[in-house]
Amino acid sequence: MTAGPAAESRLLRDTRWRLVAWSGGLTVAALLVLGALIYVSVAQTLATRARAELEQRASEMAPLVLARPGLEISGPVSIPLEGPSVGVSFLGPASGSLAIVVDPDGSVIGARGLVTELDLPHEAGIAAARAGSTDVRETEVADRAVRILSLPVETSLGRFVVQIVQDLRAEQQALTSLRSVLLMGGLAVVGVAVVLGWLYAGRALVPIRESMRRQREFAADAGHELRTPLAVVKASVEDLRRRPTPATAAGGPLDEIERQTDRLTDLVDELLVFARVQSGVLELERAPVRLDEVAVTAIERHQRLAHEAGLSLVADLVPATVAGDPRRLEQLIGVLVDNAVRHAPRGGSVRISLAQVGTVVRLTVDDDGPGIPTDELDRIFDRYYRARTSKPGGAGLGLAIARWIVDGHRGRIRAENRPGGGARFTVTLDPA
């Protein structure tokens, strides 16, 4: 039994999407780190270069503005012997900076009109420079972002302060362009990574898909092959019981043969259902179903099993209608009842209740067994998983099939331990 390309299992699809998500996520993380490093590095380089230009500007302009008879300058400022003329325009095409000199008395020397218009000099920078340190800060002047350098200049007349105001528009535009390039380039790289990841994941999953296909085929073929000899064995046992031969005196062995045959038959049925679920070819019907009537049928089928185990089945059912597949719902209840019967102690009971709670229908199956280890509650519905308290027999497929049936009906199933001991399975379904 094989499935076409359209029946690719949900597991493989989920795995493929997870691989793509990991590929895209790691690419995004790498690009974020790399982009941040590039951006910070460029921003620091621009800021360092701009500060060096400010200091050079101050070194060039201070001697020109302070030039007067009898004034001697000491300190970091040197008088250039020759070179290009120094502009004093602010936010203009000449130099993009403005020089202001404040004498020891607080008077402003140079660019007086612009000083008044632009609310300069910057007092905080002047105060820091008067304390003897070179101050660099970024602020706004005339609604423009600027960087201000305040440089103390020691002279024979006292400490002057040279303040250079630099326009940051070009620097900000460069950083904005860099951010745009990083963003657009990053999106393009992530897109390519997602596409390549999708293609690569598809190729990487080919062996897994083939392996799963072979497993499904094996389970289906094994199930079909086992059904025939099991049916023959069961028919032979029934024939021996009908004929008055000495063989019928061996009632105990015949009972055991029949019991084990029934168990193997159930296992084969589970394998076949599971193979069809995995292949994606098993679909659920959608029709109004009296869940209480389905429950009665499932309970009657397990009366013999419960009687042999020394248990009583107690049903508390109210009429309830849900939208679903009657055969699969009967199988769901049968799985839960069979699981409870296998774990309940001899002399105990299994209680099946059905009630309408608010806007939902709730099915509950309780037993008097040892319960479920707390650390295994989250794994009890995994396929092939058997709890430590499980009795011999079974392949760990029943509860996995039960969860698949509930999920197919858009319901919820939960396993928990009862306060008084034992396990409780609760199924919640929407009414029709």
**pLDDT tens profile 389-420:** 665 555 567 888 889 889 889 999 999 999 88
pLDDT at position 329 is 93
Verify that 3 and 131 share a domain, yes or no.
yes
* 349 and 235 share one domain: no
Are both 41 and 182 inside the same structural domain?
A: yes
Q: How many helices (H) and strands (E) does the chain have?
A: 10, 13
For residues 232 and 327, membership in a common domain is answered with no
Q: Which residue has the tokens 């020109």?
A: 64
Tell me, yes or no, whether 46 and 107 share the same domain: yes
Q: Give the domain range for residue 215.
A: 206-282
Picking from 156, 180, 204, the residue at the C-terminal end of a domain is 204
How confident is the model at residue 317, as a pLDDT? Answer: 94
155, 188, 204: which is the final residue of a domain?
204
Residue 44 to residue 183: CA distance in whole angstroms: 19
**Are 146 and 138 a contacting pair, CB within 8 Å?**
yes
198 and 210 inside one domain: no
| Statement to judge: residues 289 and 220 lie in one domain | no
211 and 267, same domain (yes or no): yes
Closest CA to 59 of 128, 152, 170, 156: 152
pLDDT at 393: 54
Q: Rounded to a whole number, what is the largest CA-CA distance in the chain?
A: 142
pLDDT value at 77 more than 50: no
Residue 171: pLDDT band (50, 70, 90) is: confident
User: Number of folded domains in the chain?
Assistant: 3
CATH number, position 308:
3.30.565.10
What are the residues facing 276 on neighbouring strands?
Answer: none
309 & 409 share domain: yes
Domain boundary among 145, 169, 204: 204
The pTM score is 0.46
pLDDT at 53 over 80: no
For residue 198, how many other CB atoms are within 10 A of its CB? Answer: 15
> Residue 90's pLDDT is what?
38
Instruction: Name the CA dihedral angle for 30, 31, 33, 36, rounded to a multiple of 10 degrees.
Output: 170
- CATH code (residue 230): 1.10.287.130
Domain identity same for 265 and 414: no
Kindly report, residue by residue over 99-142, the tens digit of the pLDDT. Answer: 777 777 777 765 555 555 666 777 888 888 888 888 888 888 77
